[in-house]
Structure 1
Amino acid sequence: MSDEVGDVGPVELREQTLGVIAALLEAGLFVVGDLGPSGFEPWRLEPEAAVARIRTEWDVPEAPLHAGDACWLQITDKGQALARSLVDEAE
């Protein structure tokens, strides 16, 4: 697959994506969960366990992945503050 991350196969692309998700979770910029009847429902898992669960849910790297197939991510207040500061710096 050739795209913004270079020419990588589906397994490597999945692992790169999981690495980014792990970094976002560990930094407290996002939380992972599902959408349920009450809206976003965070998983009560440490980042490492959450990434392992996503890897299990995303079990066929070659198959198309659609929004919500493996998880949902929700930005935290800390993540929003960082995003705003980056936008402000760019302006």
Structure 2
Amino acid sequence: MLSLNARISKRQDQLTSEIDGRIILLDSDSGKYFAFDDISTDIWNRLDAQPLLADLCSTLATDYDADLKTIQVDVCKLLNMLAVNNLIEIN
């Protein structure tokens, strides 16, 4: 799992569009498209603030009235996928 003290930010050179309330992202380096569901879109939009992972998960757990540990696991899976595809930066 990522460190809860990690700060997460989007790479600034991504091409994104919102269609029907969901993010569609084109990675200009690889040419791959990524289509986010509603929750992934919400998380992506929250990355504008470059949050600490702990704060992001805590806020999501409150907003979705969900178990914090479950949120942490699910968010880390998404962020790991985004990191592997070089779509975000983790500091």
**TM (normalized to structure 2)?**
0.30
TM-score relative to the length of structure 1: 0.30
Higher relative contact order (CA 8 A, sep 6+): 2
Which of the pair has more CA radius of gyration? 1
